[in-house]
Amino acid sequence: SSSEAFATTSPPKLLFRQLFEKESSTYTYLISDIAHPDKPAMLIDPVDTTVDRDIAVINELGLKLVYALNTHCHADHITGTGVLKTKVPDVRSIIARTSLAKADILLEKGDRIRVGNLYLEARPTPGHTSGCITYVTGDAPDQPQPMMAFTGDALLIRGCGRTDFQGGSSEKLYKSVHSQIFTLPNDTLVYPAHDYKGYTVSTVGEEKLFNPRLSQDKETFKNIMGNLNLPYPKLIDIAVPANLVCGLQGQDSKI
């Protein structure tokens, strides 16, 4: 597999960057193993409008972008995955098979995405959409400590994604977060796909205690989610069809 091309015996050294897109309040994450001579890198949840910024940082830092991942098929912005593929040779797009979106690599539960000697594990966390994945850094002594969880919209800081469209289900989301995220060590860093209040990071322990929705029992949670009365998302009819084809709708490009 392509990931083996980047395997070495040296312990990994994480380069990590959190990047923010103001319009949709989206966080994009850059991860690289800079102990590896190729400095292979991946981007989680890139946004179409900030792809040039992301590529500039990647080039300045001398990284080689190999993967562009999405946590899910977004409804509030267009993924940068497709544009990245047109601008950076050999980048491969990744999303959950259950998202029903197109991508080069369709993930199943437990699949690992590797850059150098760092890896992320795919944990399905459906409920916001039916194809949501939380990416968790490796659970091994040479992997980042504390662990990091890229939770998409399944778990936000003191919040969570809505569950009223795209195959959403509050029942499923509750089960996903409690079985796949809240079971991680308490000091695991929580990096969500969005934040609207200026938080940049949280921990599993903090969210278990202080998340106003997911710290509740399941029935209370389902009640809260059933009574949010949110407006129809502004961009959903543009973003979802675009994101199903990596943000490259109406283009002839091979995705």
Question: Where along the sequence are the contacts to a copy of itself (CB under 8 A)?
Answer: 17-22, 28, 50, 53, 57, 60-61, 197-201, 206, 209-210
Q: Which of a copy of itself, Fe ion, none binds 201 (CB below 5-8 Å, type-dependent)? A: a copy of itself
* Cβ atoms within 10 Å of 102's Cβ, excluding its own: 16
The residue count for binding Fe ion (CB under 5 A) is 2
Q: Which of Fe ion, a copy of itself, none binds 162 (CB below 5-8 Å, type-dependent)? A: none
Q: How far is the CB of 209 from Fe ion (least distance, A)?
A: 24
Phi, psi of 198 (to 5 degrees): 95, 5
Identify residues 51-90 at the interface with Fe ion (CB under 5 A): 74
| Residue placing its CB nearer to Fe ion in the complex, 66 or 160 | 160
* Cβ atoms within 10 Å of 154's Cβ, excluding its own: 30
Q: How far is the CB of 72 from Fe ion (least distance, A)?
A: 6
Q: Note whether 68 and 46 are within 8 A (CB).
A: yes
Terminal CA-CA length for the chain: 19
Q: Note whether 46 and 94 are within 8 A (CB).
A: no
148: nearest Cα among 48, 42, 24:
42
Q: How far is the CB of 126 from a copy of itself (least distance, A)?
A: 28
| Residue placing its CB nearer to a copy of itself in the complex, 20 or 165 | 20
Q: Does the footprint of Fe ion cover residue 48 (CB under 5 A)?
A: no
| Residue placing its CB nearer to a copy of itself in the complex, 107 or 193 | 193
CA torsion sign for 205, 207, 212, 215 is negative
Angle made by CA atoms 193, 143, 133, in degrees to the nearest 5: 30
Q: Does the footprint of Fe ion cover residue 21 (CB under 5 A)?
A: no
From the list 153, 195, 221, 248, which residue makes contact with Fe ion (rule: CB under 5 A)?
153
Residues in touch with Fe ion (CB under 5 A): 74, 153
